[in-house]
Amino acid sequence: MELYFMGTNAGVPSLQRNVTSLALRMLDERRSFWLFDCGEGTQHQVLRSPLRLSKLEKVFITHLHGDHLFGLPGLLSSRANQGGDTPLTVYGPKGLKAFIDLTLGISESRINYELIVKEHEGGVLFEDDTFQVESALLEHRIDSYGYRIIEKDRPGKLDFESLKKHGVKPGPLYGQLKRGENIVTEQGTVVRSCDVLGKPKKGRIVTILGDTRPCRAAVELARNADMLVHEATFLHELQKTAYEYHHSTAVQAAEEAKAAGAHEMFMTHFSSRYKDEEQLAPLLEEARAIFPNAKLAVEHVLYPISKYPDKS
C-alpha cells in the first residue's frame, strides 16, 4: 500500500498546490487504487501520476464542500473514456447521489460501467477477505467523515523444507495450506497448515480524516493506525480562526495523533496563506514538537505504508 497526494490545499487551488484528493494505491493487494476526495482538477492530477483511472475501484468522499467534490463528475466521465469498464463504488454523505445524478444527468455524460453510489452515516461500509473500511462523523460545518481502512492479517510464509519432508509437492495443495486448510498427501499423511505456516503477517491500518475540529471520533478512528492523514489548515497562533471555521491546527493534529497512538502522520489541507515549503516549515516544526513522526504531505510523491509494531 502507498499514499499518493494529488491535492493538499484548503478551500481553493493555488499555483503551488491543488485542492484535496488522495489515492491509496494497492497494486500488490488488489491491483487497484482507492480515491479519497476529488477536488476540482483531480483528473488532471491523475494524468501526471502513476495511476490509471481504469484501475480505480472505490471513491470515498469525506464531505460535500466543493474543494473535496467538484472534480468528481469529470473524473467519473473520464474513467469511462480511459478503459474503465469495471464497477465503481462511490461512498459519501447524504446528498452525494443527488449531486452525481444531477451533474451527470444535465451534462448527458455517458457512463459505460456500473456506478454504485452508497450514502452513509458512518459504521462499517465495506468488508471482504482482505480489507474492512469503517467510518465515523467528525466535527465540521457540515457532515464530514473520517475513514479507517483495516488490512486483515495475511497468512504466514510456507515452510518449504517441512513441506518437502512431508512429501508435499508445489501445486494446489500449497494454496490450501496457505488458506489454513489441512491436507492429506498421496501417501495418506495428514499435514496441518499450522505446522507448516509461519506467523501471520499483521495487516496495516490507515486512517484518512476529512475536515474537522479536534474531536473524539478522530482519535478513535486513528487508534493505533500505522498511517494517519490529518488536516492541518493553520499554525497554532490561528487556533481561534481554526475553531471558527471548524478546522485544526498543526499542533491539534499532532495532539490527536499522539492521543490515538498512531505511528506516522501526514498533515494536509494547508491554508493558501502558506505558499511554499519554507512557509509550511513552521507547521511541521510545531507538530514534531508533540509528535515526532509528523510529515508534510507533498503532491505527486508515492509514500509507502509500513507496518509498525503494536504499541499496546
Annotated active-site positions, please? 67
Which segments within 201-286 are labelled E, that is strand?
A: 205-208, 227-231, 265-268
| Cell numbers found for residue 54 | 481504469
Distances (CA, A) of 255 to 53, 189, 285: 36, 56, 13
The single residue listed with the C-alpha cell 495487516 is: 203
What are the binding residues for Zn(2+)? Answer: 63, 65, 67-68, 140, 211, 269
Beta pairing class for 145-151 and 205-208: antiparallel
Q: List strand residue ranges (DSSP E) for the chain, in order.
A: 2-7, 21-26, 32-38, 56-60, 88-92, 115-119, 123-127, 131-137, 145-151, 183-184, 190-191, 205-208, 227-231, 265-268, 294-296, 302-304
For 4, 39, 70, 108, 267, the CA distances from 35, given in Å and listed in that order, are 9, 11, 14, 24, 17
Assess contact for 202 and 193: CB atoms under 8 A: no
CA angle 202, 206, 209 (to 5 degrees): 160
DSSP secondary structure of 44-78: HHHHTSS--GGGEEEEE-----GGGTTTHHHHHHH
CA 305 – CA 244 distance, rounded (Å): 33
- 111: helix, strand or coil: coil
Q: Which grid cell is 227?
A: 498511517
Question: Three cell numbers at 149?
Answer: 481502512
- Residue with cell string 447521489: 97
